[in-house]
Amino acid sequence: MKKQTAESFAKLETLQLRARTLVESVLTGTHRGNQKGFSVDFSEHRDYSPGDDVRFIDWKLLGKRDRFYIRQFEDENQLQAWLLVDTSGSMLYRSQDAHLSKLEYAATLASAIGWIACYQRDQATLLAFDSHEFTQTGPVYGHAGAKRFIERLGEVTQLSPTPTQKSIEEEDQFIGLARAAEKVPRNSVVCVLTDAFGDADQLKRILSSLQHKNCDLRLLHVLDPAEFEFPFTGSMLFKGLEGGEFQTQSHAIREEYIKEFESFLMETRRLCRQTNCQYWVANTEEQLDMLLRQFLNSRKQS
């Protein structure tokens, strides 16, 4: 299948359509693995939930109790995928030539990962966090669960920044992420999708707390191409999406900005190495399917 660029995905009107197209692009020619799911050794029953495979309904028990139950097996071992998606104001940024905002790009990736997890009968949980709070959707699984997961992410991408008269302090940027991380159980697969703008030491503490829970960590560092290139010229008024603004001549700060940005990338990579967290830079102009394949392959190899 032809490589799907960020531009081609941006032309798809809905998040669900973008996610479905991305999943189909990545999964073409592949088959579901046999590491997860049900074994042959029956253990006990549990209540039926929408999205469960109807092949495992105990029909005899339905006749006795007039209620649906699923036969659970000894080796049933659902992977728990927790998708922590940054919805703070800076994620709404989309430069003039970019096809998706950082949040739209992150939401498309998170939707695809959640969709695949549900397809494999694993569990997916969404924690959408901003600078101070978070909301939780899930855990969900199965077709109905995938639909609910993506619908919630679709709502998230429609958010607008709340006007503020002052900038949010850098050390406060990850309060929402810290609170979300407390909800993650041990031994989960955790994928954080964020631009990582904030205090690096605080981000390191949060990732360390997840590492101590024996979580399998991944961080997708979602950034706009303009944040790499600083393509601005002339006198510019820079407005922060989370408050604050200043006007300056672009050429006067470009060199220092590039130096600081490269240092920021290096620092984020370093703290990920220190917390045993796999790290990817996710430029919103890059191919979504290639990045998703890398994510899935890293899971298989770990």
Nearest to 207 by CA among 258, 140, 278: 278
In this prediction, residue 38 carries a pLDDT of 24
Distance CA 27, CA 44 (A): 33
Please give the share of the chain, as a percent, with pLDDT higher than 90.
40
Residue 266 pLDDT level (bands cut at 50, 70, 90): very high
Q: Which two tokens stand for residue 115?
A: 């969709």
Lowest mean pLDDT among 19-28, 242-251, 260-269: 242-251
Which fold would CATH assign to domain 6-30+78-301? Rossmann fold (3.40.50)
CA distance 188 to 179: 16
Residue 181 has pLDDT above 50, yes or no: yes
State how far the Cα of 276 lies from the Cα of 272, in Å rounded to an integer: 6
* Residues paired with residue 193 on neighbouring β-strands, in sequence order: 85, 220
pLDDT at 180 over 70: yes
Return all residues near 30 (Cβ < 8 A) that are at least 6 apart: none
Per-residue pLDDT of 121-156, as tens digits, reads 788 999 999 989 999 998 888 888 888 899 989 888
Mean pLDDT of 46-64: 64
CA nearest neighbour of 141 among 45, 50, 72: 50
**How many whole angstroms separate alpha carbon 39 and alpha carbon 194?**
37
What would the pLDDT profile of 35-47 be if each residue is shown by its tens digit? Answer: 333 233 444 555 6
Please, where in the chain does CATH 3.40.50.410 lie? 6-30+78-301
Q: How many CB atoms lie within 10 A of CB 83?
A: 27
Task: Tell me which of 102 and 165 has the higher pLDDT.
Answer: 102
